[in-house]
Amino acid sequence: MTNTAAAARYVGQSVKRLEDPRLVTGHGRYVDDIVLPGMLHAAFGRSDLARATITRLDTSAAEALEGVHAVFTGADLNSHNDSLRASLHPPESPAPPANMLADGDVRFVGDPYVMVVADSRYIAEDALDLVEVEFEPLDPVVNYETAAESDDLVHPELGSNLAHDLPVPNPAQEEAFADAAHIITETWHQHRQTNVPMETRGIVASWQPHAGVMEVWASTQSPHEMQLVGARVLGIGEHKIVVHFGDVGGGFGQKMFLGREDMAVLVAAKLLASPVKWIEDRRENLLASNHARIEQMTVTMAVDEDGNFLAADLDQLEDDGAYPLGGPATPGAMATMLYPGPYRMGPVSWRARTVYTNTCGRGAYRGPWQMESVAREQMIDRVAREIGMDPLELRRQNVLKPDDLPYQVSTGLFFETTISPEQTLEQAAEMIGYDDFRAEQAKAREEGRYLGLGMALYIEPTSMGMGPLGTESAMLRVEVDGHVNVFMGTGSHGQSLETTIAQLVADELGVRPEDVTLHQGHGSGYGFGTGGSRSAVIAGSAARAAASGVRDKVVAIAAHLMEASADDLEVADGVISVKGTPAASMTMAQVAATAYQNSDALPEGMEAGLEHTARYKAPPSTHSNACHICTCELDPGTGKVTLLRYVVSEDCGVLINPMVVDGQIAGGVVQGIGGVLYEHCVYDESGNPLASTFLDYLVPTAAEVPDLECGHVVVPSDTPGGHKGTGEGGAIGAPPAVFNAVADALAPFDVYPNRQPLDPNAVLSLIASASDS
């Protein structure tokens, strides 16, 4: 390294987004905008029954319809795949059968059993109406609480509905329980929700016979997962799949992995040797993409007479549905490991189980393990109530303070010194005006009005550095005209990476953000993509390192050409100049032109060209933290909850673009608000989903959400830029904060809510239960 590192000009600024001009004018390029010559359209026929045997399936009438090119069943397609395994799923680990289309029986409502490929989507759906199918219904497994004991098996091949059972006893926990002043138990329930990206899933696949190349345009968070799994499905080399990455209309975890439909489209495109497009419709998205948060955790906490946490015992149960998106995983185990969070919790023992049911499969949804914060923060409010302490004081007493750090958690986690839970707790309490609110609340209660305050404090393990998640690469090239192209394995789908990566590169290299173009997808080096709050730390550090490598060369070339000492040069906004003598300067374009087109003028022995590739390996985890506090008013007549104020104090380390950080937090918070108060993928007892449109599945609108106030505590992480991930945090902190606010508002009724959603019906039922008792 030379000693010419640039001062931060753009990092830390709310730089306007480079992606916006095309997006606000309708010139984005999403997957449904792709049109290829001869392109056909796919539609899937899906089961209306939760569990049934297919006794007859006749596709002849559908095949005979004009404009239909093929009708595929499971028997046609499933034999054409080599493996459907997601990269995070170990090959030796048990999994549901690897089928793209149901074959012989259906296992949830929405299970695809037939695929029509036709000249248009309209014709494809006409043909689905002509498919003749008969089912013999079987008793479905719908209730996940009893699924493990049921004799009815979701996947008979696996011999059990229990997907995982991980007990981790801890004798120290039992000892701590023996002498505790208080032992408090509750089971906390979350309910079935789904990601709802505004753009549904979709893919266009085009096979080039003889070349043996599959070209893919996909709505994905991970172009390389699409490439690797696509290659496994088709049994071809990774180099034979070209994944084009365009604009992606949100994902929140749903587009991290390939769905069975994506795989079916790949196989169909190869069999037909015609481009095939599939765009999921909203009904399919709500019923059959993925669901999440169907889980419960029974928590028992031991607390001494002064309110100090002594130990905890946890029992987590989660519903994987029938075909979990991305394979059966164990976020429940992570939820239990993370339960101690930002507190001195003492020894913890835990058990985490996952079961299969005849419902839509579980998938990653923004903070997939956030049950740890839900259960813990709701439990802390409960403990406070049981032992007669103020919930803020109870948190203050047990929160990890700077003197406690670094901190080894009994579950195996390790917190470095760069977390700041106490600081965010205090900042949020000050922002909301805690004492003033309590006074206002007391006065309101005297007037018969029900105000509530809820808070949640958490630590988020971001940018996890293990396995396929561990690294990202950046290939950076200054072109002949001085413009900078960066090729990365990310999959920005709203996170603003075209801008934030450009800001990082601009500072490191000494150019303007608009001089930098991020290219994702084909041509980039392997990376897991965008999800898991990982892009700022992992991709950002790779981009920074690549830019740094090129900067050294830029300075060396300029010093040589200008006959100056490299130490005397500075690079800013694309101009290399002698410090203190701005007239003595040259442009990035002049340096680049020399590097490529006049390489004889380079310093002796220097390689021609101006490019550098760097790969960054992340530490096991980079922890961010935050505190959410919100207030609400509850109408006991209608059960309606109105949020009054919402404050977040967060620490994501060094902010690259504060506007983008606040935007990520706001989006997550509103998903959390929606989850607790409005959204619910309801199933009836026979496994029939009742929320299949946006009239039933209630995503919050602008009229339901308050203004969000964001405060920032900045403790830089130990990673190169000092950043920490922040994409998921809003959706982790909001559910328990909102839940606790509603529970607090209900406290005068002496009721103890323990499950979501807290919609008007639930609130009125709680109030009624109080009057009954």
Partner 1 sequence: MADQIPLSMTVNGRARRGAAEPRLTLADFLREQALCTGVHLGCEHGVCGSCTVLMDGEAVRSCLLFAVQADGAHITTVEGLAPDDETLHPVQEAFRDCHGLQCGFCTPGFVVSVAAFLEANPDPSDDEIRHGIAGNLCRCTGYQGIVAATRQAAAVLKGEGQ
Give the nearer residue to partner 1 in terms of CB position, either 655 or 669. 669
Give the nearer residue to partner 1 in terms of CB position, either 1 or 695. 695
Q: Does the protein bind partner 1 through residue 66 (CB under 8 A)?
A: yes
C-alpha torsion angle, residues 646, 652, 657, 661 (rounded to 10): -30
Task: Figure out which of the listed residues 294, 660, 737, 758 binds partner 1, where binding follows CB under 8 A.
Answer: 660
Q: Does the protein bind partner 1 through residue 494 (CB under 8 A)?
A: yes
Give the nearer residue to partner 1 in terms of CB position, either 571 or 670. 670
Return the H-helix or E-strand segment holding 254: none
Contact pattern from residue 235 through residue 274 relative to partner 1, giving x for each residue in contact according to CB under 8 A and a dash for the rest: ------------xxxx-x----------------------
Give the nearer residue to partner 1 in terms of CB position, either 72 or 646. 646
Bridge partners (DSSP) of residue 516 are 484
Give the nearer residue to partner 1 in terms of CB position, either 542 or 670. 670
Give the nearer residue to partner 1 in terms of CB position, either 66 or 306. 66
Give the nearer residue to partner 1 in terms of CB position, either 204 or 228. 204
Give the nearer residue to partner 1 in terms of CB position, either 588 or 670. 670
Q: Interface with partner 1 by CB under 8 A: which range of 132-140, 276-284, 442-450, 550-558?
A: 276-284
Q: Is 539:497 a contact under the CB 8 Å cutoff?
A: yes
Task: Figure out which of the listed residues 79, 90, 122, 617 binds partner 1, where binding follows CB under 8 A.
Answer: 122
What are phi and psi for residue 277, nearest 5 degrees?
A: -115, 140
First to last CA, the chain: 73
What are phi and psi for residue 567, nearest 5 degrees?
A: -65, -20
Residue with tokens 């080096």: 525
Give the nearer residue to partner 1 in terms of CB position, either 338 or 488. 488
Task: Figure out which of the listed residues 157, 694, 718, 768 binds partner 1, where binding follows CB under 8 A.
Answer: 694
Q: Is 341:627 a contact under the CB 8 Å cutoff?
A: no
Contact pattern from residue 149 through residue 188 relative to partner 1, giving x for each residue in contact according to CB under 8 A and a dash for the rest: ----------------------------------------
Task: Figure out which of the listed residues 400, 497, 669, 677 binds partner 1, where binding follows CB under 8 A.
Answer: 669
Task: Figure out which of the listed residues 659, 682, 747, 764 binds partner 1, where binding follows CB under 8 A.
Answer: 659
CB 354, min distance to partner 1, A: 27
Query: In the 3-class helix/strand/coil scheme, how is 429-469 assigned residue by residue?
Result: HHHHCHHHHHHHHHHHHHCCCEEEEEEEEEEEEECCCCHHH
Q: Interface with partner 1 by CB under 8 A: which range of 3-11, 236-244, 612-620, 703-711?
A: 703-711
Q: Does the protein bind partner 1 through residue 37 (CB under 8 A)?
A: no
403: which residues sit within 8 A by CB, 6+ positions away?
Answer: none
Task: Figure out which of the listed residues 2, 9, 32, 556 binds partner 1, where binding follows CB under 8 A.
Answer: 32
Q: Does the protein bind partner 1 through residue 703 (CB under 8 A)?
A: yes
Task: Figure out which of the listed residues 13, 19, 97, 596 binds partner 1, where binding follows CB under 8 A.
Answer: 19
Q: Is 79:19 a contact under the CB 8 Å cutoff?
A: no
CB 129, min distance to partner 1, A: 13
Count Cα atoms within 13 angstroms, Cβ side, for 270. 24
Question: Among residue numbers 744 through 773, which ones bind partner 1 (CB under 8 A)?
Answer: none
Q: Does the protein bind partner 1 through residue 702 (CB under 8 A)?
A: yes
Give the nearer residue to partner 1 in terms of CB position, either 366 or 382. 366
Judging by beta carbons within 10 Å of its beta carbon (0-12, 13-18, 19+), is residue 336 exposed, middle or buried? buried
CB 25, min distance to partner 1, A: 5
Q: Interface with partner 1 by CB under 8 A: which range of 37-45, 194-202, 527-535, 737-745?
A: 194-202
Q: Is 104:53 a contact under the CB 8 Å cutoff?
A: yes
Paired tokens of 718: 């130990």
d(CA 724, CA 463): 8
Q: Interface with partner 1 by CB under 8 A: which range of 11-19, 314-322, 440-448, 756-764?
A: 11-19
Q: Coil, strand, or helix at residue 674?
A: helix
Paired tokens of 355: 């079961």
Q: Interface with partner 1 by CB under 8 A: which range of 192-200, 507-515, 592-600, 622-630?
A: 192-200
Q: What angle do CA 420, 422, 428 make, to 5 degrees?
A: 100
- Taking CA atoms, 427 is separated from 400, 488, 648, 649, 727, in Å, by 15, 37, 9, 6, 21
Task: Figure out which of the listed residues 17, 189, 628, 712 binds partner 1, where binding follows CB under 8 A.
Answer: 17
Residue with tokens 């997939």: 368
CB 701, min distance to partner 1, A: 4
d(CA 255, CA 290): 10
Nearest Cα residue to 243 out of 487, 512, 444, 515: 487
How does 99-132 read in b/e, with b if 16+ C-beta sit within 10 Å? bbbbbebbbbbbbbbbbbbbeebebbbbbbebbe
Q: Coil, strand, or helix at residue 165?
A: strand
d(CA 437, CA 425): 16
Task: Figure out which of the listed residues 56, 600, 695, 750 binds partner 1, where binding follows CB under 8 A.
Answer: 695
Task: Figure out which of the listed residues 420, 496, 530, 625 binds partner 1, where binding follows CB under 8 A.
Answer: 496
Site size for partner 1 (CB under 8 A): 60
Q: Does the protein bind partner 1 through residue 144 (CB under 8 A)?
A: no
Q: Coil, strand, or helix at residue 55?
A: strand
Indicate the residue type of 19: E
Q: Interface with partner 1 by CB under 8 A: which range of 147-155, 157-165, 619-627, 704-712?
A: 704-712
Give the nearer residue to partner 1 in terms of CB position, either 330 or 496. 496
- What number of other Cβ atoms are within 10 A of residue 66's Cβ? 9
Q: Does the protein bind partner 1 through residue 671 (CB under 8 A)?
A: yes
Q: Does the protein bind partner 1 through residue 23 (CB under 8 A)?
A: yes
Q: Does the protein bind partner 1 through residue 328 (CB under 8 A)?
A: no
Q: Coil, strand, or helix at residue 125?
A: helix
Q: What does the binding site for partner 1 look like in residue numbers (CB under 8 A)? A: 14, 16-17, 19-21, 23-30, 32-33, 35, 66-67, 122-123, 196-200, 247-250, 252, 279, 281-282, 493-496, 659-660, 662-664, 666-671, 693-695, 699, 701-703, 705, 707-708, 730
